[in-house]
Amino acid sequence: MTVIYMNNAATAWPKAPGTAEAVAEKIDVVSVHPGRGGFEAEDPESDCRQLLANLMAVNDPARIILTSNATDALNIALQGFRFNPEDLVLTTVAEHNSVLRPLHYMKKLKNIKVAYVEVDRSGRVKPDKWAKALKRYKPQLAVFTHASNVTGSVNPVEEMAGLAKEVGAAVLLDASQTLGLIEVLPRKWSVDMVAFTGHKYLLGPPGTGGLYIGPEVDLEPVLVGGTGILSELEEMPPALPFRYEAGTPNTPSFAGLAHALSWQRENPAPIKEILDRAGRLASGLSALRAQVTSWNGQHTPVVSFTLPGWPTEDIGEMLQMSFNVVCRTGLHCAPLVHKYLSDEAGGTIRFSLSRFNTDTEVDYVISSIGRIIG
């Protein structure tokens, strides 16, 4: 039976056509890296930077720091930020553990403070609550997700960033769930840093990600070591991107990401079609009396729900074992938001679609749930 894959909020599958071949081709050639071996060579990292800069309307590709994933990027941003003791970070309860855990760690390591803004029942931050918290706490840094990985609800980034700027806060955006799917425009939105991953809606390989660092922010390097240039320096080179890229890069995977970015540029995602299918899925589940989390505004193609009387993990296991449907169940690495969704005990069942899902697959998934619950 063909796999019905609906776990794209975790990692996209399938990837952009030709991505695996691009990775394999780079593995199979002589390992020469520009600037490190003294030879001319292709430079997938530079290609990635330029393609990503174009995608985010960023003028200087050197400000795109390439990382192994979004978690790596978020740690560079959070741990490299120049905090003083008792400085405060304002964030939200919708955040992924890739934000929550570094902040918890830094409360102990750097003696900073952290405050959390609540969300509505769709997992979205209300601007009035955000504004009130900003005025109360006057944070040095504001960090929030572009879209909830649990519910798909998209936050009003431009408004939230503008409000943060009014109190003098720097802004860090987690775009792991959105880059490649909907617009991410840091310069237009007054966002100082954007963390992202390559293996979700960019349709690239795992082991890729990045961090955009705007000109108003100067981070301390978190990882230090070899860069292939200015080896006589005791500290990391001051120029970007080298200041934040220590060690041998994952060139084959970035060759794959460069290919995926080029493919996406030539084949833009049919956003309306994808969201229509997500709506079709949500409606079908609601007809089966599933408790589907409302989007209540702009959203990604994530459908999160519970079935009264059924443990979420049991539904996920039956879908995969009996119907060959791949989804995700539980807290989705975002533990705080579930209190506001009324599913705190067991989390949710989450379907997350991509451009490659079809109406036939959506109907099959709905019928599979119907068969499970009888």
Q: What is the 3-state secondary structure (H, E, C) of 148-195?
A: CCCCCEECCHHHHHHHHHHCCCEEEEECCCCECCECCCHHHHCCCEEE
Q: What is the pLDDT of residue 191?
A: 98
Express each pLDDT in 170-200 by its tens digit: 999 999 999 999 999 999 999 999 999 999 9
What is the rounded average pLDDT for all residues in the chain?
Answer: 94
Residues in the chain: 374
Q: What angle do CA 146, 91, 193 make, to 5 degrees?
A: 55
pLDDT higher than threshold 80 for residue 1: no
pLDDT in tens, 3-31: 999 999 999 999 999 999 999 999 988 66
DSSP state of 7: B
Query: In this structure, are residues 26 and 251 in contact, taking their beta carbons and an 8 Å threshold?
Result: yes
List domains and CATH numbers for the chain.
Answer: 4-14+269-373 (3.90.1150.10), 19-266 (3.40.640.10)
The predicted model gives 206-218 an average pLDDT of 97
Question: pLDDT digit string (tens) for 273-314?
Answer: 999 999 999 999 999 999 999 998 999 999 999 999 999 999
Q: Which secondary structure element, helix H or strand E, spans residue 135, and what is its range?
A: helix 127-137
The closest alpha carbon to 146, from 113, 117, 185, 118, belongs to 185
Closest-CA residue to 52 (of 215, 175, 210, 253):
210
- Give the pLDDT confidence of 29-63 residue by residue, as tens digits: 866 555 544 444 579 999 999 999 999 999 999 99
CB contact at 8 A, 215 and 78: no
More confident site: 369 or 231? 369
Q: Judge whether residue 138 has pLDDT over 80.
A: yes
Give 361's contacts (C-beta < 8 A, 6+ positions apart). 4, 6
